[in-house]
Amino acid sequence: MFLNKKIVFGVALASFIVLLCGFFLYESAPVNTIQNPKTSVFEIQPGDGFRKISDGLYRAGFIRSPFVFDVALLLSGRVAQLQPGTYQLNSVMSLFTIAETLTNSENIEVSVTIPEGINIYEIDKILSDSSIIHRNDLINYHDKGSLEGRLFPDTYHFFRNTNAEIVVQKFLDNWNVKARPLLGFNEGSCSSETTCGKIITLASILEKEVPTQEDREIVAGIIKKRIAVGMYLGLDATICYAKYIAASSSMGGCYPLTPLDFKIKSLYNTYLHKGLSPTPIGNPGVSAIIAAQNPKNSSYWYYLSDPKTKKTIFAKTLEEQSRNRQIYLGK
């Protein structure tokens, strides 16, 4: 009789264990099939406890059971490893894959701000320093086709170790939304890619050379006048870009320029070659693009920047420009 009770108990216990395992296996399985995935981001705020996180995952449709998720975290020792951040999840992930994702810093979404005017070499450094891409990934992608001028300055969100193609596409999508309409393709004010390219090139120069909107429009007028009469533009910013190309890296900056820099044999040396630089020398923002499209007529032919105040100092003649150089630059 006692033996029969032991057998019955053993069978009941085994059945319970099988049912419990089946329950946990079912509850830890992906919510959706591979044919019907749901992908979106999930955010963990600083201070969120694991129960709040599991409830959020359940409400978002990523897990079947908050309870099972909590048990899995506790048994695996991952509770203390949950990290604040934004993660990309999909509903074909198992509960265990989601738990691993939320405790791996490599999966955190990184926010980066691209300042107006900086070039692709500087952007490559920002992205690689944030572990979004490897150093030179963006530069190497750029070598396959020109990107300079179309990496729109803005705040972006990327995941670490992202493929360069995905990064580039996010930049280009943003450029198409925020910059392309300014060029007036639909209205006919920018009739071709060549014309638009010149506008963006001019805007990139204005972004580097002049700080204020009003002065940018005046300088845009000066540059167009000088091109029209065949004068050299003599822009320090284009020489700086030539140095970036030669170094093929951000170099930590290129100023101050040396006398040898002005002798660099490059189409970007506007002291030696007439006209605009062959391509943009950076990535201009909205205001610089607008200034490039609205050059202001003036009696000025020259300008320089006061290194102390950053104010643009204009001159009507070469003699006046020479005096300004002596006053403001000491040369």
Residue 54 reports pLDDT greater than 70: yes
Residues 221 and 323 in one domain: yes
Residues 197-208: pLDDT tens digits?
A: 899 999 999 999
Residues 209-244: pLDDT tens digits?
A: 999 999 999 999 999 999 999 999 999 999 999 999
List the domain range (segments joined by +) for residue 134.
111-178
**Where does a domain end: 131, 158, 178?**
178
Residues 91 and 205 in one domain: no
**Where does a domain end: 107, 130, 157?**
107
So what's the pLDDT on residue 7?
55
Residues 262-288: pLDDT tens digits?
A: 999 999 999 999 999 999 999 999 999
Residues 131-156: pLDDT tens digits?
A: 899 999 999 998 766 899 999 999 99
Q: Is residue 5 part of a domain?
A: no
- The conformation of residue 182, written as its DSSP 8-state character, comes to G
* Number of independent structural domains in the chain: 3
Q: Is residue 16 part of a domain?
A: no
* CATH (domain of 33): 3.30.1490.480
Residues 42 and 140 in one domain: no
Residue 167 reports pLDDT greater than 80: yes
How much is the average pLDDT of 302-315?
92
Residues 276 and 170 in one domain: no
Instruction: Please give the Cα distance from 91 to 98 (Å, whole number).
Output: 9
Residues 198 and 322 in one domain: yes
Long-range residue pairs from 243-252, CB within 8 A, at least 24 positions apart, any chain = 244/119, 244/121, 247/121, 248/121, 248/136, 248/139, 249/121, 249/124, 249/125, 249/136, 249/139, 250/121, 250/122, 250/124, 250/125, 251/121
So what's the pLDDT on residue 11?
46
Residues 242 and 317 in one domain: yes
Residues 103 and 218 in one domain: no
Q: Is residue 9 part of a domain?
A: no
